[in-house]
Each structure stands twice: as structure tokens, then as C-alpha cells.
């Protein structure tokens, strides 16, 4: 293996971000090598990926799928097949990777990310929940171990790109853009009738089910607000959200002289994925190019936090700090899962989150163990609420 290859461990390789990341790697032959892949339950796709990229290890999270993956890869002795959460964390910290792309969904990404940082790995972070749940802990670990935290979310990648070369210039504020989702402009009465099928149709982005529902409810933007606070060392009042339906301006930075810098491009996650994996280089590619002539009007409007309560709840959890964002995230994961099972309505997701935030014990300075316990307590309470 060439020493010039950047070695990549990809956690969550069968999801939307993971599959697009592998597309990026395929298009850059001779630059990257895949050292490990993981999936929660999509054994068939994980096996196909392992046969193509021939990593040193694969992890299937669902232990019931382990025999299937193990048998399918029996003729590939260079690839070790593992299963379970402990194996996932172990693989994240292995020495044979230069960067770990965390493309898992939800709280499950926290412990593997912690293990990778402690092992001195740079992190390409597509798992925003890691910083939502434990932002202070993660940023302290990043400094302690001298690693880079490279954002993959399109909005945070945009801000990161705008800040390159601006290290000595203080940020006045950042502006996160939001598409507004499929229900922009709808009333609460209309949202009460929303179906799962309607909520899964995002106007601009092709994403997994959980993040698509979060985008429809604006919880995704709320989680991104909290993520941005920790990524860029911001105060709560330095973060704004503006609805930009075309999703061309991915976010903006305003500096103390009033100047604004924005990063623009088509709504395609491959660009921020490639930027994080290739950083500090901008790698040539054949992605479709943006043209202003195709988008003669770019429009903006305020976010409706009274109709879309999740965004307001996220700002409030950020202000409370401590374990409140951890509660917000876990309650939302339970609520979204219940909505996708059609157990609760669209507006009830916010009600579950708000009620759970009021019931879970508040901790001002949580440890990693406290976060684990808070997550478990929150899920128990939220599960009770969705069964009522």
C-alpha cells in the first residue's frame, strides 16, 4: 500500500452519507484506501462493499446478521468480520486509519467517535448528534489529542470553508440556511394532517428517513445550531437561521467589519464529503456545476419557530446547556421512530420532546457516563409518552 494513500475508516457505510462517501472514494483512485466499514443491519450491501474495497475489518451492528456476513466473506481472509457496539468502538480506534468518517445516525455515533479521537484520529463528522449530545466533552478531547474535527454537514462545511484564511478575524455571527423542508408555509392545522409519506419527500436533498423527518420538522436545523456552537466556538447569540428554499447558499459567516462570506453550490452531499476527506486540498472532480443562470432568484425568509416548535426547543436546550441537548436528541430519536411507525402524528413529535425535556433530571456539568445515563433515562420516559 502506497504511503501517500489516506486511510479511511467509514462508520455507517450503507446509509445515505456512507454510500455517497464511497462514490467519492471510487472517483479518486490512488488517493484513498478503505481500512474498515460498518453498518447496523444492511448485511447484503455491507458484504458487497467489503468485496469491492477489501478493508481490514467490517462490523455489522446487528448481531443477528453476523453469521450471514461472516459466511459471505469467508473467502476473503484479509477482512476480519466483527459485530456489536464494542467491536464498532474498537475498530474506530484502530491504528490503521488516518481519518474516521462517522456517518452513523443518531446517538450511536458518540462512543465510537470518542474512541477514535482518543486514538488520535482526525474525524470527518457527519454524525451531528455527537456534538449535540456531548459538545463540550468532544471539543475538549479534540484539543487534548490534537486531532482535526472536519465537518461534513453541508451547512457546517460551508462555514468551515468560509473561515479558511480568516483565523485572525473574529466571527460576529454565523447564519445557517434551511430549505424549510416540504411543509414550509404550512399552518399548525395543516401539519396536524401530515402523513409519513408526505414528510419523507424532501424538496432538495436525498437523505435517509430519520434526517428527512428531522428536516421536515426543522429539528435537523435545531441540531445543526447546537453542532455549530461547538464546532466554531460560538456564543448562543452568534447563531442565526434563515430559510433559503433553493438550498444553493449553504451557510454564511459575518465578520466584525460586517462583511459576509458564503459558500454556494448545488445541493449535493458529495462536495462536503470530498472536502472533509481531502482537506486541506480541493480535489478535482466531475460533479455537476452550479450556474446562476439556472437559479436567477435566490430567496430568503425567517424561520417559523412558532409553527415548527422543534427549532425553538433546540435553541432553548442550547441555552440550558448541560445535559439538556442530550435529552433533546434522545427524545427526538424516539419521537421520530414512533412517527415513522405511524404511532404518533407529526405535531406530537414536538410534544414528546418538550414533555421529556421537562421530566428528565438536569445536570449542569455531565461526564461521559452521565450522558450515557441521560440518554437511557430519556428514552425510557419518551417511550412511555409515545405509548400513551
How would you classify the pairing of strands 57-60 and 239-243?
Answer: unpaired
| Max Cα distance, the chain (Å) | 62
172 among annotated binding-site residues = no
Residue 127 annotated as lining a ligand binding site? yes
Ligand-binding annotation for 224, yes or no, is yes
DSSP characters for 310-362? HHHHHHHHHHH-TTHHHHHHHHHHHHHHHHHTTSS-TTHHHHHHHHHHHHSPP
Is 244 annotated as ligand-binding? no
Find out whether 291 is annotated in a ligand binding site: no
Residue 16 marked ligand-binding: yes
d(CA 117, CA 142): 6
Determine how many CB atoms are found less than 10 A away from the CB of residue 103: 26
Residue 285 marked ligand-binding: no
| Residues in a beta bridge with 173 | 254
Please check if 259 is assigned to a binding site.
Answer: no
Instruction: Tell whether 139 is in a known binding site.
Output: no
For residue 128, give Cα distances in angstroms to 125, 197, 225, 315. 7, 25, 10, 15
Q: Is 329 annotated as contributing to ligand binding?
A: no
Distance CA 276, CA 253 (A): 19
Q: Is 169 annotated as a binding residue?
A: no
The residue count of the chain comes to: 388
- Is 208 annotated as a binding-site member? yes
Does residue 206 have a known ligand-binding role?
no
Query: CA 321 to CA 82: how far, in whole Å?
Result: 36
Per the CB < 8 A criterion, the answer to whether 224 and 310 are in contact is no
In the sheet that 6-11 helps form, which strands lie side by side, from edge to edge? 80-83, 57-60, 32-39, 6-11, 99-102, 122-125, 149-151
How far is the CA of 4 from the CAs of 7, 8, 21, 30, 31, in angstroms? Answer: 9, 13, 19, 8, 7
83 labelled binding-site residue: no
Q: Which of 100, 116, 117 is nearest to 21 (CA)?
A: 100
Please list the residues that pair with 301 across neighbouring strands.
Answer: 243
15 annotated as a binding-site residue: yes
According to the annotation, is 17 in a ligand binding site? yes
Binding residue positions for NADPH: 14-17, 42, 127, 129, 208
Binding residues: 14-17, 42, 127-129, 153-155, 179, 202, 208, 215, 220-221, 224
- Extract the annotated binding site for 1-deoxy-D-xylulose 5-phosphate: 128, 154-155, 179, 202, 215, 220-221, 224
Residue positions in the annotated binding site for Mn(2+)?
153, 155, 224
Amino acid at each position: 500500500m502506497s504511503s501517500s494513500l489516506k486511510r479511511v475508516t467509514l462508520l455507517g457505510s450503507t446509509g445515505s452519507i456512507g454510500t455517497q462517501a464511497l462514490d467519492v472514494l471510487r472517483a479518486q483512485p490512488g488517493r484513498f484506501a478503505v481500512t474498515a466499514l460498518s453498518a447496523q443491519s444492511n448485511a447484503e450491501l455491507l458484504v458487497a462493499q467489503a468485496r469491492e474495497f477489501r478493508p481490514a475489518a467490517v462490523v455489522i451492528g446487528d448481531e443477528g446478521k453476523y453469521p450471514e456476513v461472516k459466511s459471505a466473506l469467508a473467502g476473503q481472509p484479509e477482512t476480519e468480520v466483527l459485530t456489536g457496539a464494542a467491536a464498532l468502538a474498537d475498530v474506530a480506534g484502530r491504528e490503521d486509519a488516518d481519518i474516521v468518517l462517522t456517518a452513523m445516525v443518531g446517538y450511536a455515533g458518540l462512543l465510537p467517535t470518542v474512541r477514535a479521537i482518543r486514538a488520535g484520529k482526525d474525524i470527518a463528522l457527519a454524525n451531528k448528534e455527537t456534538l449535540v449530545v456531548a459538545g463540550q466533552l468532544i471539543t475538549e478531547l479534540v484539543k487534548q489529542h490534537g486531532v482535526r474535527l472536519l465537518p461534513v454537514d453541508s451547512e457546517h462545511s460551508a462555514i468551515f470553508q468560509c473561515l479558511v484564511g480568516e483565523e485572525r478575524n473574529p466571527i460576529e455571527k454565523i447564519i445557517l440556511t434551511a430549505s424549510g423542508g416540504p411543509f414550509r408555509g404550512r399552518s399548525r392545522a395543516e401539519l396536524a394532517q401530515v402523513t409519513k409519506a408526505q414528510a419523507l419527500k424532501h424538496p432538495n436533498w436525498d437523505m435517509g428517513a430519520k434526517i428527512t423527518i428531522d428536516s421536515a420538522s426543522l429539528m435537523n436545523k435545531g441540531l445543526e445550531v447546537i453542532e455549530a456552537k461547538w464546532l466554531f466556538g460560538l456564543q448562543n447569540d452568534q447563531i442565526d437561521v434563515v430559510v433559503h428554499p433553493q438550498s444553493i447558499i449553504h451557510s454564511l459567516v459575518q465578520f466584525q467589519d460586517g462583511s459576509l462570506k458564503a459558500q454556494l453550490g448545488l445541493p449535493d452531499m458529495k462536495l462536503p464529503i470530498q472536502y472533509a476527506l481531502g482537506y486541506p486540498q480541493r480535489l478535482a472532480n466531475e460533479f455537476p456545476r452550479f450556474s446562476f443562470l439556472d437559479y436567477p432568484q435566490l430567496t430568503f425568509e425567517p424561520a417559523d419557530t412558532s409553527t415548527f416548535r422543534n427549532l425553538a426547543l433546540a435553541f432553548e436546550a442550547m441555552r440550558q446547556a448541560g445535559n439538556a441537548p442530550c435529552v433533546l436528541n434522545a427524545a427526538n430519536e424516539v419521537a421520530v421512530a414512533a412517527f415513522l411507525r405511524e404511532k404518533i402524528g407529526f405535531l406530537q413529535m414536538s410534544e414528546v420532546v418538550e414533555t421529556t425535556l421537562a421530566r428528565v433530571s438536569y445536570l449542569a456539568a455531565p461526564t461521559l457516563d452521565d450522558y450515557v445515563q441521560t440518554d437511557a433515562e430519556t428514552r425510557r420516559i419518551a417511550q412511555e409518552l409515545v405509548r400513551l
